[in-house]
């Protein structure tokens, strides 16, 4: 029997995450989420008009949780951000599959495209803030910390794409090289 229509958006997102883990993105439907949450399909539709909207909300929730956890656990260091990115990076990464599928679906839907763009800008700002805590100013004249944040985010997302399509992606070596690059930039400024 279905629960009464007193279910939070967070509970539905948790049900969607469970569906994704069990059935994959392709088989995660609004109906499957409703069944997982024990509510009517109309309840899910009330909160999320489309699967794409549900996926974007889920990506937003995962991003927010990730940044919040990163800030609480370590004060938001670049090293910890790279470690978290490395842990999410992989051939079977549900997080990145969800993110890139949402990205592709959002390109033809302006409100979702705008929302995803804001999420990426927020990540850029978080990363720029982490870099500012580490460097205080840019290690290379003419490159702002804001632009460093954008470039680091693009590097991390690009590595995620490569890992999604290449089972042999050398994740450990590449993330070690990225960490060494940032160490070198920091030390070059100071030494």
pLDDT tens sequence across 108-149: 888 888 988 998 999 999 899 989 988 889 999 999 999 999
In whole angstroms, give the CA distance from residue 17 to residue 33: 9
In whole angstroms, give the CA distance from residue 58 to residue 67: 14
What percent of the chain is predicted at pLDDT more than 70? 93
Task: Give yes or no for a contact between 43 and 75, defined as CB atoms under 8 angstroms apart.
Answer: no
Task: Copy the structure tokens of residue 163.
Answer: 């890992």
Q: Which residues contact 26 (CB under 8 A, 6 or more apart)?
A: none
In whole angstroms, give the CA distance from residue 86 to residue 159: 9
3-state DSSP call for residue 177?
Answer: helix
In whole angstroms, give the CA distance from residue 102 to residue 106: 6
The pLDDT, as a whole number, for residue 80 is 84
92: buried, middle or exposed (CB in 10 Å: 19+, 13-18, 0-12)? exposed
- What predicted TM-score, i.e. pTM, was given to this entire model? 0.80
In whole angstroms, give the CA distance from residue 179 to residue 171: 12
Average pLDDT value for the chain:
86
In whole angstroms, give the CA distance from residue 123 to residue 116: 11
Residue-wise pLDDT tens digits, 69-94:
767 765 668 888 888 889 989 999 88
In this structure, the number of other CB atoms found within 10 A of the CB of residue 91 comes to 15
What percent of the chain is predicted at pLDDT more than 90? 42
Domains contained in the chain, CATH given: 1-48 (1.10.10), 52-190 (1.10.357)
The pLDDT, as a whole number, for residue 5 is 58
Residue predicted with more confidence, 21 or 125? 125
The pLDDT, as a whole number, for residue 191 is 38
């Amino acid at each position: 029997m279905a629960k009464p229509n007193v279910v939070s958006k967070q509970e539905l997102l948790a049900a969607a995450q469970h569906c994704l883990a069990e059935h994959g993105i392709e088989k995660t439907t609004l109906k499957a989420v409703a069944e997982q949450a024990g509510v009517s399909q109309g309840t899910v539709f009330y909160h999320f008009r489309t699967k794409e909207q549900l996926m974007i909300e889920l990506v937003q929730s995962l991003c927010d949780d990730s940044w919040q956890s990163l800030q609480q656990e370590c004060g938001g260091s670049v090293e910890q951000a790279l470690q978290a990115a490395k842990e999410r990076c992989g051939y079977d990464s549900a997080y990145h599959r969800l993110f890139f599928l949402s990205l592709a679906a959002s390109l033809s839907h302006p409100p979702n495209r705008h929302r995803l763009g804001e999420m990426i800008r927020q990540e850029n700002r978080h990363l720029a803030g982490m870099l500012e805590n580490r460097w205080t100013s840019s290690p290379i004249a003419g490159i702002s910390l804001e632009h460093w944040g954008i470039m680091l985010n693009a590097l991390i997302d690009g590595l995620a794409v490569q890992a999604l399509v290449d089972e042999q992606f050398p994740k450990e070596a590449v993330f070690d090289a990225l960490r060494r690059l940032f160490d070198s930039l920091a030390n070059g400024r100071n030494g």
